Amino acid sequence: MTSIEKKYNELKDKINYYASKYYNDDEPEISDFEYDMLMVELRNIEKEHPELIAKDSPTQVIVATGKVNEKFSEVTHEVPLQSLQDVFNLEDVNDFLNRVEKEVENPTYCVETKIDGLSVSLEYVDGVLVRGSTRGNGLVGEDVTENLKAIKTIPSKLTEKVTITVRGEVYLPREELDRINEEREALGEKIFANCRNAAAGSLRQLDSQVTASRNLSVFIFNMQSIVASTSSRHEITSHYDSIQYMKELGMNVIPYSKKCKTIDEIYAAIKEIGDLRPTLPFDIDGAVIKVDDLKQRDELGTTVKVPKWAVAYKYPPEKKETKVLDIVIQVGRTGALTPVAILDPVPVAGSIISKTTLHNEDFINEKDIKIGDTVYIQKAGDVIPEVVEVLKNKRTGKEKSFKMPTMCPVCGAPTERVEGEAVVRCTGIECPAQLFRSLVHFASRDAMDIEGLGPAVIEQLLDAKLISNVADIYSLKKEDIMALERMGDKSADNLINAINKSKTNSLDKLLNSFGIRHVGGKSAKIIAQSFEDLDAISNASVEELASIHEVGQIMAESICEFFKNPQTKDLIKKLKSAGLNMKGLQKEIVDNRFEGMTFVLTGTLPTLGRKEASDIIEKYGGKVSGSVSKKTNYVLAGEEAGSKLTKAQELGITIISEDDFNKMIK
């Protein structure tokens, strides 16, 4: 393999990976600009070496840009929802115009804002919204009708009884992104990287109430198809007229659409949109130049991936120079220590930036960022400001290196960085900085299951200074709770009863509620079944813990470190005084017919839930594993079984259905 072939394959695989993270997982790992530049590099290689073009190249395959989530029903688009060819300079725009003018006579164009959101199709029959779907891979999308109906700017009925399919972009206003990210950060959840990321995550929810709470909006930008006999209009012949017509039907159409004839008019429109960009309350990532006449569009046609009658001009990210005045530490709700650069305030993409996250210790070292450095910053995805370059030629010698603290700046507990991870964390369970998250997790359904003690109530209790650690929950009195907003006599009684009830929970619930890193509900149950009480667990060695089935070295070390911490010892002492159950969990064994056997569950079973099936196996003395190996005795497989089933077949493991399983336990 030549060096250019190797480079091409690495670049192709890298782009496909980043595309999957962006479109399928809604978790972008690089900025749009960085992704676009990788695509430019790939196209240049393919232009110079067409013999290298692979079938799975992201320039060739439409499915590289999204797949249908199995949670939703599939929708086949009658008219494909294609992506656009991106261009990055005015010379490329001119090349596009020249190509068009060689194919059709006297074309006119529309220049529009390119909204940065999630593309959707809306289908109306006789003026009534009957179905809405995501773009998916352009050919097949996801049916998200109920979620789209929850968006206020999507009309359920049009002003005319027309049968029409339109394409729009679901987006999230910037103010909403700030509000949602504040809430997610407070709960210890990962924040959305940008408005598009948040819009996609909000629309692809199984619960439409979650979608409704996010205050999404939509802009309609294309008429996909229309049944002429249902329209009161004469035949629509231009894109610009279709936009005006959809607006008359009651749709929230694209906010900027300008008809242009000459190249100078097109350049002026692109500049005008670029100047508007910082002032808009929503994100745009470019300007779209489209042929206006619909018949001329048909003449120009499309490729597999993109129409030949449109391109998207992408604006370069705005970079500004500023100075790192200091680097401070923020302790998050999960105990993560995040370094934050305090900057000399500078305007970037419509807002004044005075600080930015430096992510972690590795990021600082890779960029070689020092206190006092002059740096370039830009907004990643036009939302989150980020240091992109240190201007080392401007160093004076007075700059200071930064080191992550070995003690938590909030509570003084030791910090730790687990091997293989980039994050440094506070080890203190009573650290005020992570108290809210600890309390929410402690009271959650999978932990102590204290009904009525949700995030809103916990926040009120903290604000009223009625609790300052987990153990304080068990000191609450009825009158304390009644003093809270919207908490009457009955609500207070119910919460006190739920708190008292949680004292009798099994030990695995308590273990899980501690939020020990790497320990979840399943492993907590296994550990609770392996020791006499909590004291025995807290005094166990790494070797003792690691020898337990499905615990292992990393989890064992995490458990030992947790119980060594003085804050943990103090908390356990308080919980004992409050009367919580600390006794080990006895396995409920019906008989030992599955003793020594290991089962793996995969897919969806007809009647049994995964937890229910696991409990049955354990009652008969068996073990349930999360992965298939040569030691696996049976794989219990249901519908849509994935890689575990394939591996079991390769290893010759016995595969059973739910019917087979029921025969085994009768």
Q: What's the pLDDT tens digit per position in 356-365?
A: 989 899 999 9
- 364/280 Cα distance (integer angstroms): 32
Same domain, 363 and 415: yes
CA distance 352 to 346: 5
Picking from 257, 292, 313, the residue at the C-terminal end of a domain is: 313
Select from 264, 283, 313 the last residue of a domain: 313
| Residue owning tokens 């680097």 | 327
Question: CA 366, CA 318: separation in Å to the nearest integer?
Answer: 22
Of 14, 71, 114, 465, which is the active-site residue? Answer: 114
The CATH number assigned to the domain holding 612 equals 3.40.50.10190
Burial string for 181-220 (b: 16+ CB within 10 Å, else e) reads beeeeeebeeebbbbbbbbbbbbbbeebeebbebbbbbbb
Same domain as 553, residue 632 = no
87 in a domain, yes or no?
yes
Question: Are residues 327 and 288 part of one domain?
Answer: no
Residues of the chain with pLDDT > 70: what percent?
91
Residue 399 has pLDDT above 50, yes or no: yes
The answer to whether 646 touches 611, Cβ cutoff 8 Å, is no
Residue 129 resides in a domain: yes
CA distance 40 to 25: 23
Across the range 372-380, mean pLDDT stands at 86
Which pLDDT score is estimated for 63?
Answer: 39
pLDDT tens per residue, range 288-347: 999 999 999 999 999 877 899 999 999 887 788 999 999 999 887 667 899 999 999 887
- Tell me, yes or no, whether 486 and 345 share the same domain: no
Structure tokens at 266: 């097109």
| 213 vs 78: CA distance, rounded Å | 31
CA end-to-end distance (rounded Å), the chain? 59
User: Tokens representing 127?
Assistant: 């003026």
The lowest-confidence range among 23-27, 102-106, 300-304, 441-445 is 23-27
The answer as to whether 564 is a domain residue is yes
Q: In terms of domains, do 303 and 230 share one?
A: yes
Both 189 and 309 in a single domain? yes
- Asked whether residue 67 is assigned to any structural domain, the reply reads no
Q: What is the pLDDT of residue 64?
A: 40
Picking from 313, 346, 369, the residue at the C-terminal end of a domain is 313
- The total number of structural domains that make up the chain: 5
Same domain, 413 and 340: yes
Task: Note the pLDDT of residue 208.
Answer: 62
Domain hosting residue 612, numbered range: 598-665
Q: In what order do the strands lie in the sheet with 217-226?
A: 128-134, 118-125, 164-171, 217-226
Catalytic-residue membership of 114: yes
For residue 205, tell me if it sits in a domain. yes
- pLDDT higher for 278 or 255? 255
Distance separating alpha carbons of residues 323 and 350, to the nearest angstrom:
19
Q: Assign residue 26 the CATH number of its domain.
A: 1.10.287.610
Q: Same domain for 128 and 264?
A: yes
H-only helix segments in 319-392: 361-367
Distance CA 578, CA 470 (A): 11
CB 74 within 8 A of CB 143: yes
pLDDT mean over 272-292: 89
Same domain, 129 and 234: yes
Three-class HEC string of 202-230: HHCCCCHHHHHHCCCEEEEEEEEEECHHH
- Statement to judge: residues 260 and 365 lie in one domain: no
**420 and 438 fall within a common domain:** no
150-178 confidence digits (pLDDT tens): 898 999 999 999 999 999 999 888 788 77
Dump pLDDT digits (tens) for 654-664. Answer: 999 999 999 89
- 400 and 365 share a domain? yes
Number of other residues whose CB lies within 10 A of the CB of residue 586: 9
The tens digit of pLDDT for each residue in 177-209 reads 777 777 776 665 666 766 777 777 777 665 566
pLDDT digits (tens, 9 = 90+) for 550-574: 788 889 998 998 999 888 999 999 9
70 in a domain, yes or no? no
**Could you tell me if residue 591 is inside a domain?**
no
Q: What is the mean pLDDT of residues 218-237?
A: 84
State the Cα–Cα distance between residues 221 and 119, nearest whole angstrom.
10
Q: Taking phi first (over 0 means left), then psi (-120 to 50 degrees means alpha), and beta for anything else, what does residue 350 get?
A: left
Which single residue is written with the structure tokens 């196209």?
Answer: 43
Q: What is the CATH number of the domain that holds 519?
A: 1.10.150.20
Q: Is 588 a member of any domain?
A: no
